[in-house]
Amino acid sequence: MKITFLGTGAGIPSKERNVTAILLDLIQEINHLWLFDCGEATQHQILHTSIKPRKINKIFITHLHGDHIFGLPGVLSSRSFQGGKDPLTVYGPSGIKQYIETSLHISNTHLSYPLHYVELVDEGKIFEDDSFIVDAVLLDHNIKSYGYRIKEKEKIGELNVQKLEELGIEPGPIYRDIKSNEKTVLKDGRIIYRKDVIGKPKQGKIISIFGDTRYVPHHATFIQNSDLLVHEATFSADNQSLAKNYFHSTTEQTAKLAKDSNARTLILTHISSRYQNGDLDRLLTEARAIFPNTMLAHDFFTFEI
Residue 109 clears pLDDT 90, i.e. is over it? yes
Using CA atoms, how far apart are residues 243 and 249, in angstroms rounded to an integer? 5
User: Please, which pLDDT band fits residue 145 given cuts at 50, 70 and 90?
Assistant: very high
Give the count of domains, the chain: 2
Structure confidence by residue, pLDDT tens digits, 1-29: 999 999 999 999 999 999 999 999 999 99
Same domain flag for 52 and 184: no
Structure confidence by residue, pLDDT tens digits, 162-179: 889 888 998 999 998 998
Nearby residues of 264 by Cβ (< 8 Å), 6 or more positions away: 225, 226, 227, 228, 293
Q: Residues of the chain with pLDDT > 90: what percent?
A: 88
Structure confidence by residue, pLDDT tens digits, 234-279: 999 999 999 999 999 999 999 999 999 999 999 999 999 999 888 9
Same domain flag for 62 and 169: no
Same domain flag for 35 and 177: no
User: Please, which pLDDT band fits residue 201 given cuts at 50, 70 and 90?
Assistant: confident
User: Please, which pLDDT band fits residue 157 given cuts at 50, 70 and 90?
Assistant: confident
- The pLDDT assigned to 156 comes to 86
Same domain flag for 179 and 95: no
Listed as own residue / partner, the contacts of 107-112 with beta carbons closer than 8 Å and 24 or more positions apart are 107/73, 107/77, 109/73, 109/76, 109/77, 109/80, 110/80, 111/76, 111/77, 111/79, 111/80, 112/80, 112/83, 112/84, 112/85
> For helices 72-81 and 96-106, what crossing angle results, to 10°?
60
Last residue within a domain, chosen from 174, 196, 218: 196
Same domain flag for 243 and 274: yes
- Does the annotation count 279 as an active-site position? no
Gyration radius of the chain's alpha carbons: 22
Burial environment of residue 95 by CB neighbours within 10 A (0 to 12, 13 to 18, 19 or more): middle
Q: What is the CATH number of the domain that holds 268?
A: 3.60.15.10
Same domain flag for 176 and 233: no
Same domain flag for 187 and 300: no
- The pLDDT assigned to 219 comes to 98
Strand partners, 150: 134, 207
Domain that holds residue 91: 2-155+202-304
Q: Residues of the chain with pLDDT > 70: what percent?
A: 100
Catalytic residue (choose from 67, 135, 212, 299): 67
Q: Is pLDDT larger for residue 158 or for residue 227?
A: 227
Same domain flag for 113 and 258: yes
- The pLDDT assigned to 116 comes to 98
The answer to whether 136 touches 120, Cβ cutoff 8 Å, is yes
- End-to-end Cα separation, the chain, in angstroms: 6
- The pLDDT assigned to 23 comes to 98
- The pLDDT assigned to 180 comes to 87
- The pLDDT assigned to 278 comes to 86
- The pLDDT assigned to 280 comes to 95
3-state SS assignment for residue 48: coil
> For helices 280-288 and 251-260, what crossing angle results, to 10°?
30
Using CA atoms, how far apart are residues 107 and 86, in angstroms rounded to an integer? 22
Of 68, 41, 7, 14, the residue nearest 273 (C-alpha): 14
Helices then strands, counting H and E runs in the chain, come out as 11, 16
- The pLDDT assigned to 277 comes to 85
